[in-house]
Structure 1
Amino acid sequence: MRVLLTGGTGYIGASVLDRLVPRGHQVTAVVRSAEKADLVRGRGAEPAIADLADGDTLERLAAASDGVIHLAAPDDETSATVDEIAVTSFLRALRNTDRPFVHTTGVWVHGSGSAITETSAMNAPRLTAWRVPLANLVRDAQGVRTSVIAPAVVYGKGGGLLNLVAAGPQTAGNAPALTMVGPGDQHWSTVHVDDLAELYVLALEKAPAGSYFLGAGGENPTVREITEAVSRSLGLDGRVEPEPVVQTLDRLGLLGEALLLDQQASGDTARRILGWSPQAPSVLDDIAHTKF
């Protein structure tokens, strides 16, 4: 399959690219610079230098493909506008072709919940509220085999939000403790980056039109458990200190608001429909073998 991939040099996208090429897919990776073009070329993809806000170019590239996986996002104040341009361009190109389009949202859009599934209500924090209508637009598209993936907190290969935990403030004194994000009793739904990448490829290859999948590996540790594991990795013997919510919000802003959500999700729908089978170590096992 000729696959157009955005975000191919990113944390998740690079893992997706590394799964597409060995499976025989011909990948064109949208990149923003010659330097990034060299990176994807080295991984077996053909680069296409373009901006995500260049709808005409994205539409042309998508029209020449057999399917699209969209992972890139500016992750700044332009994200909502740029993502809308990219998504509408891809949908125009693929209209009435029944070709696959895999889009990205995030589990945070569901807000807090102890048993989050694909049918759970949307209660997105301000950081990701813009993703909800766009994901609905994708799922409702006619004549395109659309699927939307909502990744949980991604870990593995030394990347992801665990680095933010590791870089958190430490208390003073001879036995410093690592400061948690908030009180620490909130759960984070998690997924290994390689397992998540496999889910994207499965969705491209066989997800039914209008599908929605939580990209959650099934492990939902508390922030305290995660921070204690990171603390041990940092040589702090598992010492942690809670952080008042107001201080977390002052320190991390809208991201802090999202990280204070208490979420537990399983990802069972992807297992049942796509045969997805996460194989990677749990987040706590991964932390134990990670140097921050």
Structure 2
Amino acid sequence: MRILLTGGTGYIGSAVLDELVGAGHEVVAVVRSERAARAVEARGATAAIGEATDAAWLEPLLADVDGAVHTAAPAADAAAFDAAIANAVVEVFGGTARRYVHTGGIWAYGAGEALDDDGRPDAPELVAWRLPIEERLLESSVSATIIAPGVVYGDDRGLVQLVTEAPRDADDRILLIGDGEQHWTWVHVGDLARLYRRALEHEHALGRVIGSDGSPTTVRAVAEAVVAAGGASGVVAEGADASRARLGAEFADALLLDQRASGAKARSLGWVPEHEDVLAELAGRSRRSARAAREDSAA
């Protein structure tokens, strides 16, 4: 298929680009600069340089593809950006069989011990803007799937660094976000990219699909893995109010959500995560660091 992709130089989008190209799809990557164009072309995509929120520019590109994946996440005005993409997709893909995969997020579901992919979202203030856009897509005649990634990790990137690189106290203990007992639902970026491809290639629209490796893990457990690897002397609860003061209230409230999802709907599509869980990833990172240190000392 010929696929239009936004966010092809980003954390999730670059993994999706590699997955699609590796599966034999022709990818047209929307970028805003020559530098970004060179980056996506080096990964096997065709670059389209322009402004994705310009309907007069984007809609002809959409008309010339078999499907589209939206992973771009601008630093500012994300609501307006996503709304503009959705408007263009509804205009061009509405009433057709062309697949559209839109990026949502796990936080939109709110807290829960068994989050249901098709359950009613209960978004905190930080991401409440997502819901009207998603509902418009789902209620339209677009063949749309909304992937809601868990907390994405892998390739030494992602929000896991809010824990692994968190400030330490005077005793070199990691400051936990809140008390650290909240579970985060996780997914490796490589596994997530494969889920996007499965959704894109599926014969039907899938509604909302949570990207979860099925191993929700507490913030405290992640921090303790850093301690076990020798990266800190211990952990200590910061408290919710202190976390809000440090990180900003809206962001902290999202990070304080206790969220557990199995990823059952994704697995019903035949998707099976290849990466065990975030703790195994951290253990592997520790082994790689130790090996590198030994090689440096022996050089």
**TM-score greater than 0.5 by the shorter chain:** yes
Does 1:172 pair with 2:170? yes
Does 1:85 pair with 2:84? yes
1:233, distance to aligned residue in structure 2 (A): 4.2
Matches for 1:66-215 after TM superposition, within 5 Å: 66-76=66-76, 78-142=77-141, 144-173=142-171, 176-206=172-202, 208-215=204-211
SS of the residue aligned with 1:24?
coil
1:133, distance to aligned residue in structure 2 (A): 1.3
1:75, distance to aligned residue in structure 2 (A): 3.3
Cα separation, 2, equivalents of 1:207 and 1:276: 15
Cα separation, 1, equivalents of 2:230 and 2:253: 25
Deviations 1:168-198 (A, max 9, x none): 110114xx11111111111001011111100
Deviations 1:196-231 (A, max 9, x none): 100000000005225221111101011100111134
SS of the residue aligned with 2:158?
coil
Measured at CA, do residues 200 and 6 of structure 1 come closer, stay the same or move farther in structure 2, by a change above 3 Å? same
Flag structure 1 segments of 5+ consecutive residues without an equivalent. Answer: none
Cα separation, 1, equivalents of 2:255 and 2:84: 28
Q: 1:26 is matched with which residue?
A: 26
Point out the more displaced range, 113-122 or 64-73: 113-122
Cα separation, 2, equivalents of 1:160 and 1:51: 26
Deviations 1:68-100 (A, max 9, x none): 000102133x11011101111122111222100
Cα separation, 2, equivalents of 1:188 and 1:102: 23
Answer yes or no: is the 8 Å Cα contact 1:58–1:90 preserved in 2. Answer: no
Matches for 1:1-80 after TM superposition, within 5 Å: 1-76=1-76, 78-80=77-79
1:122, distance to aligned residue in structure 2 (A): 1.5
1:129, distance to aligned residue in structure 2 (A): 0.4
Aligned length: 286
Cα separation, 1, equivalents of 2:206 and 2:219: 33
Q: 2:297 is matched with which residue?
A: none
Cα separation, 2, equivalents of 1:276 and 1:255: 30
Measured at CA, do residues 249 and 52 of structure 1 come closer, stay the same or move farther in structure 2, by a change above 3 Å? farther
1:120, distance to aligned residue in structure 2 (A): 2.6
Deviations 1:29-68 (A, max 9, x none): 0111111111100000001112232222121211111100
1:117, distance to aligned residue in structure 2 (A): 1.1
Q: Please give the TM-score of this superposition, normalised by the length of structure 1.
A: 0.94
Point out the more displaced range, 47-56 or 20-29: 47-56
Matches for 1:141-290 after TM superposition, within 5 Å: 141-142=140-141, 144-173=142-171, 176-206=172-202, 208-233=204-229, 235-237=231-233, 239-253=234-248, 254-272=250-268, 274-290=269-285
- AA of the residue aligned to 1:245: A
Cα separation, 1, equivalents of 2:229 and 2:209: 32
